[in-house]
């Protein structure tokens, strides 16, 4: 499991900028997502269980997991660059390990390589039930830093 214990802390303005950015994303607004811990190269995204996000079988849709991964990767990259940096996803691979039965989808994104143009992130997704975490997905995401139009 990823831990942020070895990550450099960010200043409060950068943390607030990242936290606000997660909440302002249109899809994340629909999902009622919030930021968890934020550090240099590390971001957590939490999505609460809501009927619209749950398959008939009772677990989070795979697309919700993928969106959480994409968001966690994007904002973990954003912690390392200037505030106006913009990224697009080049590749996103999700390995679904278990059905995501839970009250909260908890996703941790961590930059494992940052370059001038490409940023590689790994993400881990868990569901939380009664304080217990269950691992539901692992992911690798490649982002490209681009200029906004």
> pLDDT tens, 89-123?
999 999 999 999 999 999 999 999 999 999 999 99
Q: Per the domain annotation, does 60 fall within a domain?
A: yes
Report percent pLDDT > 70 for the chain.
96
Q: Provide the domain count of the chain.
A: 1
Q: Per the domain annotation, does 5 fall within a domain?
A: no
Q: Per the domain annotation, does 110 fall within a domain?
A: yes
Q: Per the domain annotation, does 99 fall within a domain?
A: yes
Q: Per the domain annotation, does 1 fall within a domain?
A: no
Q: Per the domain annotation, does 6 fall within a domain?
A: no
Q: Per the domain annotation, does 4 fall within a domain?
A: no
Q: Per the domain annotation, does 138 fall within a domain?
A: yes
> pLDDT tens, 54-79?
999 999 999 999 999 999 999 999 99
Looking up residue 83, the CATH number of its domain turns out to be 3.10.129.10
**What is the extent of the structural domain holding 62?**
12-146
Alpha helices by DSSP H, listed for the chain, are 12-24, 26-30, 62-78
Cβ distance 145 to 131 under 8 Å? no
């Amino acid at each position: 499991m990823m831990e942020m214990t070895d990550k450099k802390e960010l200043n409060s303005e950068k943390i607030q900028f990242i936290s606000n950015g997660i909440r302002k994303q249109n899809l994340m607004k629909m999902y009622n997502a919030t930021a968890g811990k934020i550090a240099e190269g590390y971001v957590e995204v939490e999505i609460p269980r809501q009927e619209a996000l749950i398959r008939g079988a009772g677990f989070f849709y795979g697309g919700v997991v993928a969106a959480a991964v994409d968001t966690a990767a994007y904002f973990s990259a954003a912690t390392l660059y200037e505030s106006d940096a913009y990224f697009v996803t080049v590749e996103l691979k999700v390995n679904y390990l278990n059905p995501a039965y839970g009250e909260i989808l908890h996703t941790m994104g961590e930059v494992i390589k940052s370059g001038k143009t490409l940023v590689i992130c790994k993400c881990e997704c868990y569901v939380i039930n009664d304080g217990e975490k269950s691992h539901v997905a692992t992911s690798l995401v490649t982002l490209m830093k681009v200029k906004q139009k």
